[in-house]
Structure 1
Amino acid sequence: MTISRAEFEQRTNRLRSKMKEKGLDALVVFADEYRPGHATYLTGYRPINLIEESPQLVFLVGDEAPVVLIGRLNSYAAKDIIWMDDVRPIHLDGEYIPQIVRSIADKPARVGLIGDNLLPVSRFNTIKKALPKATFESVTQLLIDLRQIKTPAEVALMERAADINDVVLKAVLDKIRVGMTEIQVAGIAETVARDMNAHLASATLVLSGMNTNYPAWWPSERKIERGDYVMLDFNPGCSNYTNDGGTTILMPGAAKEQKDALRLGHRILKEIIPQIKPHTSARTVHDMMLERLEPHGFAPNFTPYAKGLRGVGHGVGVDVVEPPNLSSDSDFMLQPGMTLAIKFDLHGLPQGGLRAEVVILITETGIRPLNKLILDTPEDMAILA
C-alpha cells in the first residue's frame, strides 16, 4: 500500500499551476529531517536522520523538471525511491543551485519559498547568490492548502496507521504494570508497532505521575507507581503517513476523583466527535469541550492549554503535526478531506494531567473516525483495577 507515481506527479503539477497563478517564476520547497512533510509530500522520500544533516530542497523552475537536493548518504537510496529523475547531494548546493536556476539567473524573477520558517540562513544565502536579481516571498500556504485535503490513497494509509495505534494502545493496557519505567512502557508500544510493520513517525511520549503535567516528555527511568496517571502519546506511520493517537492510563489504587476525570475525558470525546460537521467553524471543537467541562469545574485545567497552537487538535498527514491548528483561536472552516487529531487535555490536577486523542476524517456529511478504540469501548477502558 503506497502512493502511486501518478499521484505524486499530480501533486507537483497542481503546485506548479498554483505557482503560475501567483505569477511566480520558481518555487523552492524546504523541509528538514525532523519536519519532512513539505518535501516528502512531493518526493515520497522520508530522510533517515541522526546519521547526517539531511534536509530536502525541491526546486520547481518554470516548466523545467523538478530537482531535489538531499543529504549525501540519503541520496543513494533517494535516487531509487524518489519518482523525480534529478536527485543530487545537498552538501554540494553551492555548485548545483546555480545550475538548477540558470534559466532565470539574469532575470528579475519572482521566487516563492515554501518552508522558509525552517530554511537556514546560510542555505538561503546560497540561493540568493545564484539569483541576484530575484525577489523572494513566502508562499508556504500554497502547499499547505494542497496537503490539508487528503486523497483516498492517503486516507487508506492513515487508517492503517490508526488501526496499528489502536492495537498498540490495547497491548499497553494489557501489559503495563506498577514498577515499570516510562522507558519500558515506550518499549512495549514501539515493539508492537514494529511487529506490525509500522515506522515510528515521531518520538514516543510516556509521562507518569506528576510528569503528566508536562505537554511533552521524553520517557525516563521513573518507575510507575500505584494511582499514577500514565499518559501515552504514540505515533506510528505507514508509507510515510502517520497517526497521532493516545490515551491516559490510570493505574490501580487511584482516587475516585482521578477516575471521574478520566471517564469525563473519554465521554466528552465520544459526545463531541459525532457532532463535528464540514463547513462549520473549527472553533466549535473547543467550544463543545469547554461547554461540557464547565459544570464539572475543570475549565481552569483545560482553558490555559486550549489556547494557541494545537490546543484541542491539529492536522495529521505526512507529518504527525501539521496545519491546521485547532484551538480556542481557530477561525477556519472544516473542509471535507481534512484529517484531524482531536485532543482532550486536562493539566494541573492534584495528581497531574491527562490526555486522550483520536484522529478523524472530515467527510461530506460528517466525520469518520480513523482511531476507533477509545470511541468504541467503555469510558473506563483505561482505568486499571
Structure 2
Amino acid sequence: MSITPPAIPAQEFADRRARAVKAAQAAGLDALLVCSRGGGTVDRFADVMYLTNFYTSFPYTPDHQDAWSGRAHSFLVLPVNGSPRLIIDIPKRADVHLADKDVVYTDFVIEATIEALREAGLGNAKVGLVGEDVMPVSFHRAITTALPGIVFTPADAILTAMRRIKSPAEIALLRHASVVGSRMMDKMMAAVVPGASHGDIVAAGMQSLLPAGGMLYNSFMASGRGGDNPKIVRQAFPTWGSPERLEAGDWFRAGISGVVGGYIFDLSRSKAVGGSTTNRQISLFEAAISCVEAGIEAIRPGATAGDLATAGLGRQRELGFEIKGVFSGLGHGIGLGWDAPWLTPGEPTPITPGMVLCFERTVEQDGYVGDFEETVLVTETGIEMLTDATKRNY
C-alpha cells in the first residue's frame, strides 16, 4: 500500500481562508483568531491545519518564563482586512501553504500572537475565537491583559460549517485513510486467536498501519464471555494493556481510530475467538450490523442527521436492546477530526452530498457484546462505502 496520501492543492487552502474571512465579515467580526493544539497527538489540531496545512509535532510543555510559551499550540490571525499571520513553534515546511512573510516561527508563541494581533490593528477589535476549548485560560489571560481592548466572541461555528462538507481532495484523503484503517482492522481480526492478548492484536494491526504512514489515535478493545458466568476484559490506560489471554469461545471487539495525512479513519468490528461461539453471541454481532445498516439505509434526499439516528437507534430498540453505552448517538461526521453533523435524534442538520459519516453501534446484553462501525460518503445518487474491512469475522 502506498504510504503517500493524496495531496490538497495550495489554492484550496487560500480559498478556505477567503471563505472564513467572508463568514467572519458576515458575523460582524474584525478578524478570527484560530487556535489549535498538536504536539504528537491528534487532539484538536484540525482548524489551523484546515486553513494552512500546518501541524506542530512538538509535545505540550508547560510555559517557562523567559524561555518559551505556548509550545504544541499554533495560532492563525486572520483579519478581514489584511494579511494572515501564522504563529508556529517548529520550522515552516514547504507544504505549509502561506507565504514565508506571513509565518512567524518562535519559542514564544503567545507573545508573538499578541504582537501579530497588535500589528494587524486588532487591539480594540471584535475577534472571533476558533478553538476556545483548546486555548488554555493562561493564554487567554495573557492576550487580554496585553490587549485589554480586544473583545473575543465564540466563532467555532464558522469552521464547523465549513468543515462539514468535504472537497474532492478531502474525500480522496478520507477514502485513502479508510482503506488504511480497514487493512489494519483485518490484520487485527486475523490475530484474534486463543492465547492472544489485546496488545498482541494491536501490534499486528500496527504492522499494517505504520508502513502506510498512519498514526493510531485510539483502540477501544474488550473481550469476554456471556451467559451464566459472564466476564468482560478491558483496560483504559492503555486500552490494549490487559494481560489476560483470549480463550476459545470468547467474543472480541475493537474500535480503532487513526490518522493518515491528517484525515481520520474510524471503524469497529467483532469476532468470535477460536471460531467457536454460540448463536446467542452471533445474534448480538448481527444486531450491531443491523443497526448501522438501518441508519445508512435512511440516507435519502431531505433526510436530516436526526432521521438517520432515529432509524438506527429505532432498529436497536426493535431488536430488544437498550440504548446505553459510552456513546448514545448513532455516529458523526469525520474529516480532520470528529466533524458535524452528530447523528443524534432530533438533530436538524440536512444530510447533503459531500458529507462523510461514521455510523457506529455497540449492543450489550447478558454479558454478550456486538460492535460495528462503518464510514460512508454521501453522494448525489446515494452513498459510497469508504471502509471495506471484512464485515463478519465468525
Change in CA separation of 1:224 and 1:214 when aligned onto 2, cut-off 3 Å: same
CA distances 1:2-47 after superposition (whole Å, capped 9, x unpaired): 1111111111111111111222111111112222111111121332
- Is 1:198 equivalent to 2:221 in the alignment? no
What corresponds to 1:37 in structure 2? Answer: 46
Call closer, same or farther: CA 1:111–1:4 in 2, change over 3 Å.
same
How far apart, CA to CA, are the structure 2 residues paired with 1:276 and 1:282?
A: 9
For these two proteins, the number of residue pairs brought into alignment is 366
Match of 1:113 among 111, 114, 129: 129
AA paired with 1:96?
A
Per-residue CA deviation, residues 283-317 of structure 1 (Å, 9 max, x unaligned), is 2222222333334321x2x356563xxx2101110
Where does residue 261 of structure 2 map in the other structure?
239
Q: Report SS of the residue matched to 1:118.
A: coil
Query: For each residue in 1:91-131, what CA deviation from the matched residue of structure 2 results, as whole angstroms up to 9, or x when unmatched?
Result: 41353234212246576311100011221111112221342
After superposition, the C-alpha distances for 1:329-379 in whole angstroms (9 at most, x for unaligned) are 5232212211111111213x22253321111112233222111335xx5xx
Mapping of residues 213-292 of structure 1, within 5 Å: 218-220=239-241, 221-252=243-274, 253-292=276-315
Task: State whether residues 177 and 263 of structure 2, in contact with CA within 8 Å, keep that contact through their aligned partners in structure 1.
Answer: yes
Q: Which runs of 5+ in 2 are unaligned?
A: 1-5, 62-70, 225-230
User: What code does the residue aligned with 1:18 have?
Assistant: A
**Identical columns (%):** 22
Summarize the alignment of residues 103-252 of structure 1 with structure 2, pairs less than 5 Å apart: 103=119, 105=121, 108-195=124-211, 197-209=212-224, 210-211=231-232, 218-220=239-241, 221-252=243-274
In structure 1, how many angstroms separate the alpha carbons of the residues matched to 2:55 and 2:190? 33
Q: Which amino acid aligns with 2:257?
A: N
Asked if 2 retains the 8 angstrom alpha-carbon contact of 1:242 and 1:317, the reply is yes
The structure-2 alpha-carbon separation of the partners of 1:113 and 1:182, relative to structure 1 and needing over 3 Å to count, comes to: same
Using structure 1 for the length normalisation, give the TM-score: 0.86
Counterpart secondary structure, 2:218: coil
Q: What one-letter code is carried by the residue in structure 2 that aligns with 1:239?
A: G
Q: Which residue of 2 aligns with 1:55?
A: 73
State the 1:89 CA deviation: 4.2
1:128-166 per-residue CA deviation (whole Å, 9 max, x = no partner) reads: 134221211001000110001000000011111111222
For 2:82 and 2:218, the matched residues in 1 are separated by 38
TM-score, L = length of structure 2: 0.85
Amino acid at match of 1:364: E
Report the AA paired with residue 252 of structure 2. Answer: V
* Structure 1: tracts of 5 or more residues without a match: none
**Who is 2:64 aligned against?**
none
CA shift digits 1:188-245 (9 cap, x unpaired): 11111223x2311512333222557899971113322222222222224332112111
Letter in 2 for 1:243: F
Tell me if structure 2 keeps the 8 A contact 1:315–1:338.
yes
8 Å CA contact retained: 1:186, 1:206: no
Distance apart, 1:261 and its partner CA:
1.0
The yes-or-no answer on 1:323 pairing with 2:337 is no
8 Å CA contact 1:101, 1:130 repeated in 2: no
Q: 1:7-46 to 2 correspondence within 5 Å?
A: 7-33=12-38, 34-46=43-55
Q: Among 377, 383, 393, which residue is 1:382 paired with?
A: 393
